[in-house]
Structure 1
């Protein structure tokens, strides 16, 4: 007989699985929305310039875009129905999307087949060979304030179809056997795999020079990333933080002591994975392993599965060190990588001198290119304040910020805030960025008692609606809490200005995730200052754009991201009120004269 505690645990596990399933469905809907927006951007901004380029006959370019627009139509229909289906269900645990996915995946095949069979790859090759026109296309994207180049957009359809099996498989993982959607989801998974296989065959025939794209898909399938070793999600075939699409630069076999490692060098990080030597090269010694080997095509490695050896090394945290003469004599064809944050060095050995030279050159160049791109990114993102036309009338002392119920897909959050003051973000006259606060935040893994969650949510509802002194709610052990010390002085120029706060999750492997924003009228700070002196705490709700499925997901689960803003208003230039009398002004003037006379007497005495 089950104990009451056992029943509670079972029910809690069921609820958690239901939430996880709904989360993955929302991820599917949200990424589908971004995908069709990207397709629309490519069609609207690049068709005309390509027609005028003369790289291909206009008819062929029109055919490529016709097939691209057909994909846009098909996927828009999928997104519309998915979004409606998710929002229609009152109980998110009953969401049934398997049949819908199955039907739409079948409709996708002719659209994607025609697109991949067109001269799209040939067009990309010609653009690569014409640097001047390639730069022109990049300039078009820059003018639209987008990182989405034509090359990135043209390869999106092939990237997208590889995501469907992964997402549907995750949905199935959290779908109980007795769920009414179980059978349809299994069929949808088979349809997505069949679609991938068919399109990959066509793409393989059409595409030789885009071999790295296929390698990224192989990595997603064959490299396991345990959450105990890395708390950030990595999608190999996706966007980097500021380098555009992820690119595989170099790969091969390295050794650390006697351990054989599969090494993968990307444009934004370096990854080492372990594979069983016995399963790849049974009976071979280390020096018998072929020097030149393609891990993705070699008969003994292409079907192997490997596991992360160490957390991926981001170039911000990585140095490449050549050995001195004595070390080189003892360990030929070897080099060290230094992980700055861990103050640790790892000795790696290549199979031959030529491989050793190749790895050193590739690693050094990748780090150099990464640093250049980072400098450019930071320069573009640099804040340029708008100089106010009048001096500040007061100062806002922003003491600290506290956030509750922030949501991210990662297992740990590296959260930071941007704060600005002005009429809007573009015309802000002052901006600051908080330090990054790290917290294991994925609420799916939080073992907080249900009663405490209920209490927290109740407190948040009150907090988000106005003023509070927080009390026990700011418990340091609260897993929903993130705290930033700011201690910043912000000039108040106009009482009609707004204080803007945006929260982000800083991931080293992807563009920063937007977590929510709030805007507060400076007038409300001034009014509160009149009623209460000293330090004041104000609660505000954080908002996500309503068209984001994650915003709907948070609402459905009664999760309310919000902020506590702790501040003090300090007067700079006291403003004379209308009620101040002429007598008060004369008195103040008399005091100033007396002070001046006393000062003159003191100066005369000092001189004598």
Structure 2
């Protein structure tokens, strides 16, 4: 109701077009940096393909095989990163400044490539053969702005760390420190449309995981490729001439500098993506994807590092198998230790792949004898060598006559109590064991190396103890699912003596691995597992080992029996097993047995493979 003489004024909201949120300059800059550095990296890949691989092949300076030995899967890397770059550029409406390329000629990057087909690089189209409909946003690297700008820079290439510096390093950072400087930074002549709504997270999440295998192949073979590269430099004059031509074209950056760029690039992804994430609001639509992309980039590096580490460890274990002799000790000869063939590259007794954790030169105190120490995840081994002057350059080399000889028996980590730094000498440390009266005194050449040995040994011992406990809890040939029950509910106590076994025969495969059988018996009732000591070198062991178990049901309780061959360097071999209900073990029906339960009785049990086990039992009823 409106009163007379009163004018009602109503204020209506003004409708305006929706406004975009202002772009964060830092986020725009971070995205631009990611794309521009990816562009420069792809350009660098093409520089090598066009200015080095192609001339080498055209002039037949190197064969296809030799090219692959040096450049590995370079063409596959071009395909992977060109695809990623194309997707990123499309997302930001990337446009190359046509005036920045000679004659306005652009080149399409390849979309796919075979892992080993080096011919793809040699078939890259030249400037004159590219039609307008095949042009893309990637300039041909022979005449790219990147290459022209590089000519104005003189870049010093840092040499990679020597093997001597890495010989004693426990966990090598295979993809850590860059070994050559990045490409010179220049102002991009391209335009991009980057605003607050720009999303690149999904693109990165799609492409980064697919890079693992190819970058692992490249990074893992780079060290050997460098040796092939150096061999060609030393022996092929035409190859050296081509290197000089290439270096002149790139303004001083050597081919080695370019060959390390894939390793640098894959380690740089987490840093670049983290910068984008830092400047992306948690409320942004791309925040979750960018965060996931950062995790993908980190996992990419972790997986490559892990695969390289495993491959390196495997090759080193194989090398030790060929170059370590075991001497004439009564416990070791012809590759056998304690009558067991030691295969370095195999599972250890804890069902874990054996790994070489640390190695290096140590001196025995007080004699000063030079030893090479090898710490594995199940034992510690020392070896002697004829000369220590050049061991760093010969150790683990494929083509070498370098030989090692076992120095005493290996020390199992389960026998090591602790490793300690010496209080009187900054270079000396000691290893206290259960099997030697006096600690083993060793000396290193550097304080940090001593610290590394002590820390690595103690960590390995701790992890070995954890692995051993898990094996003891494992029921091997069977699984016990019942929970541990309260002792108050037990109805009887079983006093059991494991007397002897007969006709134990190892499997044919196991017979090749060891010269004798060292059997022990393991018995499980409910949640409790007990075992005998192992008898040495016999297929007819006599243990006479007493055991005691609580029984909860005189009919349904099950006795699980396993006999194993005790191994030192590999998983224990099962020599026979069986499971039997307690009611079937009784010498007479249960109602009759209950009238005289305390009398002992002996039973001969047959195992699954024909072997037999003799046990003596006494059942004592518990009063409620």
- The bucket for the TM-score relative to the shorter chain is 0.3 to 0.5
Choose between structure 1 and 2 for higher RCO, CA contacts under 8 A separated by at least 6 residues.
Answer: 1
Q: Could you say which structure has the larger radius of gyration? A: 2
Hey, which of these two has a bigger chunk of helix by percent? 1
- TM-score w.r.t. structure 2 length? 0.43
- TM-score w.r.t. structure 1 length? 0.44
